[in-house]
Amino acid sequence: MDNNDVLRRLRYTFDYDDAKVIEIFAHAGAEVRRNLVVAWLKKEEDPAYQACNDRMLATFLNGLIIEKRGKRDGPQPKPESHLTNNAILIKLKIALSLQTEGMQEILKLGGRELSNHELSAFFRRPGHKHYRECQDQAMRNFLSGLQEKFGPGSSDA
């Protein structure tokens, strides 16, 4: 799934303004300027659009974990240079302190039902015989469910 779209959807879901997005990046040790955040949030058709690379989205997600759960003791995790939908899902699960039932509820809100086994396959290591790649549609369903659960106007917002 497109990194810019993930960033855009999370920003909308949690009703973050540009300053809050910049603050979340700062939690993970990255300094980004407002004009860069604005460029990432634009649609692809816009001439001012700029692609958000995997490392920057990973940095944002690491910052989101710190924002939601606090800084952990010891060295902070380094942002990955290659990010998959599975890794994004794992980071969101950590940030929101979600268990299997919570993940399933969010996916259901987004229009997708998965069994415990199907869901746990997303969290296995690549190469494990039960590992399953999280496809873009499942990621979209999860982000839509997040918006339904936590977005503006929801009871959990």
**Per-residue exposure over 100-115, b if at least 16 CB sit within 10 Å of its own CB, e if not:** eeebbebbebbebebe
State the pTM of this model: 0.92
Are residues 58 and 87 in contact, defined by beta-carbon separation less than 8 angstroms?
yes
- Amino acid letter for position 46: D
Tens of pLDDT, residue by residue, the chain (157 residues): 899 999 999 999 999 999 999 999 999 999 999 999 999 999 999 999 999 999 999 999 999 999 999 988 888 889 999 999 999 999 999 999 999 999 999 999 999 999 999 999 999 999 999 999 999 999 999 999 999 999 877 656 5
pLDDT of residue 73: 85
pLDDT of residue 76: 82
Six-digit token string for 125:
């290591």
